[in-house]
Structure formats: C-alpha cells, structure tokens
Structure 1
Amino acid sequence: MIDARGGQSLTTGSLEAAEQYQLAVDRILGSETGAAEALDRALVLDSDLALALAARYMLAKDANSADADGFKERALMAAEAALPWERAHILALFALLEDPYSNLAATEAYIAGNPSDLLVISQLCGYLIFYGGARKLERVLRIMESVDPSLHDDWACLARLGFATSEAGDRNRGRVLVERALRQRPQAPYVIHSYAHVLHDQGKPEESLDLLGNWLNEHRLSAEGGAMYGHVQWHLALAEWQLGLAEQAWQRYERYCAPEKTRCGPVLTLADCGGFLLREYLRTGTTRPVSAAVSALSERFRSMLSHPFIALHLAGIQASAGDLASLEQSRAAIATREPSDQTRLSLCLVDAIGQFARGQYADAAESLKSVSVDQRISVGGSRVERILIDLLEARAVELAA
C-alpha cells in the first residue's frame, strides 16, 4: 500500500488497515471527529501497524488518556520492523510531542528532508503559533512554503498555508488559498477555522457571520462533539460581538465555548475563555463572577504565568471577575521568576490589565504603549490575540481621555 500524500510504501499486509490509517490522518489534519476510531479499526486489522500506533499515541497523549504510554511502547516496538522513513517519522513526531522546545531545530531539519510529512509539519507549526516568539510569522510561513510541491494543491496544506500567509500579512492571498481548501474539504473544522481567521484578519465580521452560520447549519451533525467545534462556535460569537450582537454572542459563548461546554484542548479553552471574557469586560466595564470550571481552568495554568500568552488570558479572566487580589497574586508570581524577555512581557501585560481593572486607565495605556509590534507577536497565538491587546490599549486611551 502506498501512502496517498507521501507516495511511500506502508509496512502492512492489510490494504484495509492502511486505508483506515490514511482516513485517520485526514481526520486529524481536518480536526474532524472519528480519527481515533479509524486508527482503532486499523489496529484491529494489523496490530503492528507502526504509523497507526504512533498516531494513536499522539491522540491519546493530547487527550491525557491513561493508555497513551501503551501506544507509545507498541509503536516503538513495531517501528523496529518498519521502513526507514516510517521510523524517522515516528521518532520525529515523538520527539516533538515529548519536548517540542528542545527538538525544534531537529524537527525543522527532519521536515527539510521530508517535506511531505504534513502530520509532523502541522504539529510543528501548531507549536510555533503559540510559542514561536517574535519571528514566528515568517518562520511558520517559510515552513509551509517549503512543503513538497506535490502537496501544493492538497487541502490540508492549503488551509495551513493560507492561515500562515494571512498571519504574515498577505490576507488576500491567504483567503484565496483557504477558499481552495474549503472547496476540497468543506466538512473540515480546521479549514473553516482557518477561513474564520482570515476573515478576522481582513476585518470582515459580516462575512464571517454568514460563512460560519451557514457552515454550522450544514455540518453541525458531523462537527458536533469534535475538539474544534466549540472554537468554531467561538469565532461565530466573536463575529457577533464585533457586530454589536452582544447578548447573542454571550449566549453562544455560554452554550458552546465556555470551559463547561467546549471539548477544545486546555490552551485553546483558556484562549477562548479569557479572550471572550476580557472583550466583554472592556465593552461593558461590568464584572461577572466566574464559574467553578473557569476557576479550575485558571488554577491549571497558574504555574505558567511567565508565558505572555497565559498571562494575558489568565489576567483577562481575573479582571473580568473584578478579582484584584488574584491579579496581584499573578503579578507577584511572575515577579519571582528569573528575569527574561518573556517574563518581563508577562509582567507588563498583567500590570496593564491590573491598572485597567483599578481604573488607572492612563497608566494602563502607558504600559501598553511600550509593548512593541514584535513583542505583541511574541505573546503567542494568532492575530486574534494581538487585536485583543490593541483593544485593551484603545479602551484604556479612550477612558483616560
């Protein structure tokens, strides 16, 4: 059996097992439901299919499942009898999953020699989007531009290249690329999510409202229950919020996107929660008590406050609740960390949000004025986060006047 994307042979005696593996990869790249089930079917047919075991480990680890280590051990054992390219893929994927920061250079070297390995490429770019620093926009775009030319019309590549292109500033080209991906794979939550980002970058919430509403009406049954479903709903809530449909946006957030409801991973859940609550607080100035689930989510990330992305969203939650004591505790926790560019930026963001929450709007505006464009990029996440910082600064300036 030949791998559909890479054109390389797969080590298995079962054609159906190979087909189920490739179906699972499509579902992983599309953030679609049913990937784990497809891998499980593949492993029933061939329990030693190393690539399926590796992918199953990736999903189990992401879900914090108790059986993750078992899949890892089986994958490494099966890799001993697999082809060299399969072993290289598994080792690169596992290194990135286990310690992405220490293995960034090795992973980039791997994909330079294996430019059709979209599974590893997507994992690497996903990490860089959150933690790639000030040069991440160019870095992610360069990686996606280097993908094997044979995949330049592949929907999974197009969606990621379009996202990266828009993030790096060429929003019109990014939109064209994502639209091509959507025509090929209209049911994929990842693709519609990329499109939502492009429309947000273009400042077109009306189009986003129509696009996402129509997509959810058509694909709700297949998308509901998937890890990306709540985040797609969040983008629709964001478009509603931008258009002044505040109550509608709030109801959508509570129904689909809040930590009690979403099935997104913890980092994306924090971003959706903190980003929405802070925006609504900036709009109204009204504080709301947080739920037990939000408190639990906040506690989970308290030890990671030295990362600006975490600091921004956690402080946003605290400000939205009027919890000045927790904001002070967050500031104190960051101040105890070893000084670095990242910890200083985290401290600046928490200071600015705390000043805003205390009504010290001129001080908040002054604090944010010192945050450069490169620093705003290095916060992590997408342009959605950079616009959130811009909104905070603009609102502080407005209220200070």
Structure 2
Amino acid sequence: MPSGPNSGRVSRSSGRWRWSDATRETTDTPTAATLETERMKDRYGLEVSTSSAEARDAYVEGIDRMLSAEAGVEDCLAAAIAADPGFALPHAALARQHQLYVRPDEARASAEAAVELSHSATARERQHVEIVRLLVAGQVPQALDLIRQHVIDYPRDAFALAPACGVFGAIGFSGRIGREAELLEFLEPLATHYGDDWWFATVHAFALIETGRWDRGRQLAERALEQRPSTPHGAHTLVHALFEAGDDDEAVSFLEGWLPDSDRASVLHCHIWWHYALVLMAVSRHDDAWQAFRHNCLPGTTTSPPITVFSDSSSFMWRSELAGQPRDRAIWQQVREFYEERFPQPIVFVDAHAGLTYAVLGETEQLQACLTELQELGEAGRLPAGTTGATLGQAYGAFVDEKWSTVIDVLEPLIPQVVRIGGSRAQRDLMTNTLLAAYVRSGRTDEARAFCAQVVDRRPTRPVAGFELC
C-alpha cells in the first residue's frame, strides 16, 4: 500500500472497512469531543464532511477500487451512503460509476444528489462535486478547466484529478494532436505531492509510456503492482510497457500469472483479456488468442463498459484477419448488433471503429449512412476528432473491397492525425497495421518497412500476414 505522505491503508474485515494513517487506526465512530479536534480525512489527507467513520472508510475503499479498476465499487459506495446519507462525495463517485457504464439517468440523479448535499460541505468538496456534475452533463472541456484550477489548491484530490488522466480522460478525448505530451506535462509537476502512491505511479507511468518513455513507465507500473498486486490498472499499464518494447513473451508470461486471480467484474476485465489475446496473436498462438477473446471480450461474456466491449471486439477481429486468420461472420454480426443497441449517438473513440462492422459485413448502405453522419458532425465541429472517424471508415470500406491504393492514399496522411480519436498507441495500431497490410497486399513491402522505421521509440510486434520487419 502507499508509503508517501498522508498515505493510508484500507482493508475489509468482518464486513467493516478499516482505514488507518501513519499515526492512528479508526474502527469506531468518534465521539463529538474527538470530532471537535480532528476532522475526518480520506486516504490522501483531505477533509471529508462526515461524522461517520464507517461512511468515511467505505468511501475510501470505494474510491481506491475505482482508482485501481477493481470490482466492488458500488457496494462500497452504497455502504458509505447508508452509513451517512448526507455525505455528498459517495454520491458524486457513484455518478461517475454510472457514467462509466453508460447509465445516464442514474448518473444525473447521483450527481444532482451530490450537488444538493455539498452545500454544507467544504469548499474543496463543493468544487470536487462540481467537476463531476460537469462531466456527467457532458461539459468535458469545462470540467477539464475546473480540474486544472482545482489541483492548484488541492493537488492530492486524486478522484477529482483522475478524470483528466488516461487515454479515455478529458485530455485523452480532447481531440488535440498533442494531447499525449499535454497529459504528461500536466501530471509531472504533481508527482511530488503523491510520493510513492500506487495510483499516481500508475497514471504517471501510462503517460510516460504513451510519449515513448516506456522504460521509465515500466518501473513505475512495477512499483504500483508491488504495493497493490491486485490493481488491474497497474497490470494494464505494465502490459502496455511490454507491448511498446516488443516483449511479447514476457507479456504472455506476466498475464498468465496475473489473470487467473483477477476479478471478472473489474471494469478492465475485457480490456486486459484483449491485451492477452493480442500478445498471443503476436507469438502465433492464434487458437489460444481466439479462445481468450471469445470467453472474455465479446458482448454477453463480460460486464465491462460498452465502449470497451465494442472497440476491443471489433479491433481484435479485424487484427486477426490482418494476421491471416479466417473471418467469423456470425461474431461480426453479434458485435454490430451490440453497437447499434448501445451507441445511438456518436462517441469519439467508437466512431473510429464503427465503420469496421458495416464494411466487413458488406452492408454498404449502413456504412455510407454512418460515414455521412460522422462527416457532417465533424464538419460542424460537434466531434472532438473532427472528421477522422468518417475518413477511417472510408479506408476500412476500401480495404474490404481490396482497393489497396485507395487505402494507402487515405491512411498515409491520416496516421499522424489518429491520435485525435483517443485511445492508446496500442489501440491505434489497428490503423497502422491496416496500412501495413495494404502496403503488403499491393506489393509495396519495402514501403511498409520504411514506414515502421520512421517510428524510433517503439518496437511492437506487427502480426500482419506476409510482413516481416527485417
């Protein structure tokens, strides 16, 4: 567990959460006299407006589980609310949890409850709740602006900082080309405030990896896992470092040791198994890759958020075909039905995968309707990544039609822009490998090798049929 300043430890024993800092352990509700001299604080040493130790401890546990991507978040937050219904912060955290799982009505209700209850809370808590309200309302740029202001005064408010972090965060989904460097620049001054904290080490590591410093990122990810071995975020970050270095065998070995004890209810369950399937593909264990994918990533096999289930499923199947494996049309139809059911409105990262399903299934009218909508919304400035999603869809359609020159002409100038869609470099290799496959299938393998040589800070394996880097 954390050993930095104001760090603490959370455990659950006999149905009760216990929280301790460096000087005390609290298991009972403090007396009024105690509260006069000592306010309740969270694991980061920040005051929280509750007089219930049980509520505070359950809230701290719930936040740690959210920051770690572990299961059991909603049980913890429900326990905190039950112990103190007037405690605003658990309602705010629950709003974010609902938002993550695409439950908009529940997210708004929890955010509204948090706002109402925060009127009597501290200034820090009120601003924290307002950040969540803005996020739930879809006002992401405004939320990011407030996060930047908030961490000046409250740099250790981890849960308020978290929505700005990662490739799916407010910066990651900003649509800006330089957003990877922007996130690292934002995080690095905050490192001194977190010491050896496992959560900050994880998000800092990921930002380093995405800007080419995967060796330093690996060190931080390993440190986080030493402190909290169960953290899916830590495991996920380490796998990214290994992927960037091209250490496929090590990634397989690590995941085969870590996955058996992982919780299927984790928010990252689908995605980490997707990584495992990809590295199995990279070492030519295609049957094992498909087995891992079928049982852990497809709709109906996982409780992970819909954005992950759809993007990982469509991405894996497309990459598998690029690697020379046969198409499973029935599974593509299953994924297309999931997409149409769960995503009535365009979402920036989903946009970049939406054309895959229609193109593969030969549903040209649906593909064209999808691309027209994305093009119009992008031109109107209503999508952070502009028209990138529409252009990618055009390339996928051309690839299925075996128009290799068209694919190359579309994707070559677009590759430097795809960072705008969000997602990690590993995820965006969907587009890179598509371009490489088009080079190979048009007899331009030397151009494929030259393209790979331009990227000097990465060594990922490229499972593309007919292509060897050297």
Give your verdict on TM over 0.5: yes
Residue 145 (1) aligns with residue 191 (2)? no
Structure-2 residue corresponding to 1:396: 438
Q: Distance in 2 between matches of 1:74 and 1:311?
A: 32
Contact 2:415/2:431 (<8 A) preserved: no
Question: 1:193 corresponds to which letter in structure 2?
Answer: H
Structure-2 residue corresponding to 1:21: 59
Go from structure 1 to structure 2 and tell me whether the alpha carbon gap of 1:334 and 1:22 turns closer, same or farther (over 3 Å shift).
Answer: closer
Contact 2:175/2:422 (<8 A) preserved: yes
Q: Distance in 2 between matches of 1:162 and 1:272?
A: 22
Q: Distance in 2 between matches of 1:363 and 1:356?
A: 8
Among residues 53, 59, 63, which one is paired with 2:97 in the alignment? 59
Structure-2 residue corresponding to 1:281: 321
Among residues 109, 112, 121, which one is paired with 1:82 in the alignment? 121
Residue 164 (1) aligns with residue 164 (2)? no
Structure-2 residue corresponding to 1:261: 301
Contact 2:176/2:385 (<8 A) preserved: no
Q: Distance in 1 between matches of 2:243 and 2:363?
A: 30
Shift in Å, 1:332: 3.1
Structure-2 residue corresponding to 1:382: 424
Q: State how 1:343-358 maps to structure 2 within 5 Å.
A: 343-358=386-401
Rg comparison, structure with higher value? 2
Identity of aligned residues (%): 26
What is the CA RMSD across the aligned residues, in angstroms?
A: 2.2
User: Which range moves more in the overlay, 179-188 or 195-204?
Assistant: 195-204
Go from structure 1 to structure 2 and tell me whether the alpha carbon gap of 1:84 and 1:280 turns closer, same or farther (over 3 Å shift).
Answer: same
Q: State how 1:156-305 maps to structure 2 within 5 Å.
A: 156-217=199-260, 219-220=261-262, 223-284=263-324, 286-291=326-331, 293-299=334-340, 300-301=342-343, 303-304=345-346
SS of 1:365 mapped into structure 2: helix
Structure-1 residue corresponding to 2:11: none
Q: Distance in 1 between matches of 2:105 and 2:352?
A: 31
Structure-2 residue corresponding to 1:93: 132
Q: State how 1:109-128 maps to structure 2 within 5 Å.
A: 109-125=149-165, 126-128=169-171
Among residues 390, 395, 413, which one is paired with 1:370 in the alignment? 413
Which protein has the bigger helix share? 1
Q: Distance in 2 between matches of 1:274 and 1:69?
A: 30
Structure-1 residue corresponding to 2:72: 34
Superposed CA offset, 1:8-45 (max 9, x none) = 22221111221111111110100111111111112222
Q: Distance in 2 between matches of 1:286 and 1:323?
A: 19
Go from structure 1 to structure 2 and tell me whether the alpha carbon gap of 1:343 and 1:81 turns closer, same or farther (over 3 Å shift).
Answer: closer
Q: Distance in 2 between matches of 1:183 and 1:372?
A: 37
Q: Distance in 2 between matches of 1:267 and 1:200?
A: 22
Structure-2 residue corresponding to 1:12: 50
Contact 2:112/2:133 (<8 A) preserved: no
Among residues 77, 80, 103, which one is paired with 2:143 in the alignment? 103
Q: Distance in 2 between matches of 1:12 and 1:214?
A: 41
Shift in Å, 1:303: 4.0
Structure-2 residue corresponding to 1:73: 112
Contact 2:264/2:302 (<8 A) preserved: no
Q: How many residues align?
A: 395
